[in-house]
Structure 1
């Protein structure tokens, strides 16, 4: 049983990835500061993955702490070696993720996202753990005139959040070049993760104002917000609203497992991979599908376009499909159904 370190494992994508990893028999150290997540999440993960014959309670260990604490990281790695089960790989989710907050407080984002990653890589190198899957983002591409974005698309983040993701990718590239025969690195560039685990036990629980569209939809449908605002109805698309690539969070989680196993099975390498469905969905199509699948109606209004938005962004995911033999199998209806189940079963999130 391989032992992994999952930074930010109590978060939205991290928790769903923990479910996938535990079901594949991995033992997990989950390190999370809980600045934008909840410690109850890991209890839910254990509930989902455990059964009467084989509980996972002894396979996942939650440590509350911050990546900026170098001593804590060193202790995690050294204790694991002392126990005879060294950490063999890292999936790095930890970091702040609000575009708006990053613009208002860039120092916080550079400190947390970049300095935290430097500490993590320093400890990994010191304790001979050189396999890492990094939670990157399609925001590093910035505005593009191309509808489908391959990994070779021009890089130009439009906000400090995206800049910090790019900075960590550059750091990882430099680390790889320094010891190309040792490091195994995969940068996974997400598009728009939505949905939740089909059990409704875990899902997206944003603290404060959501950063993404889908939590606004579920909260409006639940009556937590008065109405949904759609930015722009005059885009050059079929219905006038922006088109994006939405991917089910469980498909995304499975992509992390496959990326990790690819790195562990092959020679040292650095991979940049888009994780998206390769399908475009307009904002109105998402709203209408959500209402139809869940048999409800929700109020929405149109507002002016937001600065920096582009009409259409869809992943060219061909490289991930071929390299990982990965196939995102859940459709838009599944995303809407599972996301609403999480919201209805957890009207106040994890509180």
Structure 2
């Protein structure tokens, strides 16, 4: 946006300092002037030593003649002193702002690694500098995450396209092959590419917070998710147990259902076939509602658990489930984005007995009624 050139802030402060000093000097000289006019007599009789004849002299006019040129000199000195002193003081005061401006210009060019790190005691400029440094830290982390995400997404999307190209090349060179097998394999590859694309779109939607908020009950959403995935758990011989209070919050029903479904699906896939359990619990705290999903399974290292929320970070031992299905690596990343879009938090902790405990905490709304739901499922709806 183009703007006409104007005076710098330093020059404005200098003129303000000088103007204030000139005003104070003018008031002081005016006070002296009033004193001379009011309390000094116009004429006075003076007796000069060694002179027997006293004389009458115009005292006030003489003082005014002496006072006026010297007052003008003092006024001129105040003007010069105010300009010079104001320029120096304003420069020292605006020095932190200059550093902040330089840092902002460097950030505008794409350099996010520098920090202002303004020294000294806390004041308005240092609060601004610290806030700017914090913003740069978050931006740098966000940009690095987006770059990693873009690179991983490109790699993941390239894989099904490369497989499709290979299958088509083989079919073109071998026209006597079974077309049904080719169609089935292409269908599977295309389905995976569609699932990956929809997951990326959902992740983008959650990050942009482009959804309508409405009152929802997280406990009902948890029951809906577990009932949907119950047949999948039955195929693996797993038990799903749900326990929870009424947990009212505000958000998107579809996104929160996706969040819960991802957590329960993740708990089913990475479990002990034939003897595992999934616990889904909802609770109400003073100002938040909590959804907890736990599952049995292999023991996980804490440093490994901390990487699971990164997009496409599936881990070597979790890259392939027991039945050979390969995950997209976006389940927990989507959960984290949805939780953050609802002003909530996501916490992952390894269970000492093995498996994972995932906790989602969202802002609560005052409940209309209270109650408790307890159900267990193994071959029957939860």
- Work out which of the two has the higher radius of gyration on C-alpha atoms and give 1 or 2: 2
Q: What is the TM-score when the length of structure 1 is the normalising length?
A: 0.20
